[in-house]
Amino acid sequence: MHNVTVIGANSDEESSPAEASFVRMDEQTDAILGLRIDDNQEVTNVGETKWFYVHYDVLGPDSCLVVDYDDGVMEAFGDREFCREWQPRIKFIDNMDISSPVVITHEYQ
């Protein structure tokens, strides 16, 4: 199993970084390559939508992306069965396209 974590933050010194993790379990292909997160250096205020772009070069089937926004909200995207098995308490978001780049939005309160 590989648990790769990427942390992104904006220029607001008082804000906490956002965290994104990909976990991959597969006996044949166990690599996640080129994982990175970007917010295009867009500064947002409380109550505005924050956009995150997660890029990767290689991500196989049965993968799960868990995003911890560091404000008490966590969401999971990807393979439903694996996400629910690995992180059953985290809200799974249906119909999320995890093709690179994965576009994720969040509103900080």
With cut-offs at 50, 70 and 90, classify the pLDDT of residue 1: very low
* 84 and 92 Cβ atoms separated by less than 8 Å: yes
Alpha carbons within 13 A on the beta-carbon side of 81 = 3
Residues 7-30 pLDDT 10s? 555 445 555 556 666 554 444 445
Per-residue burial over 12-37, b = 16 or more CB atoms within 10 Å of its CB, e = otherwise = eeebeebbbbbbbbeeeeeebeebeb
Answer whether residue 44 shows pLDDT above 80: yes
Does pTM surpass 0.75?
Answer: no
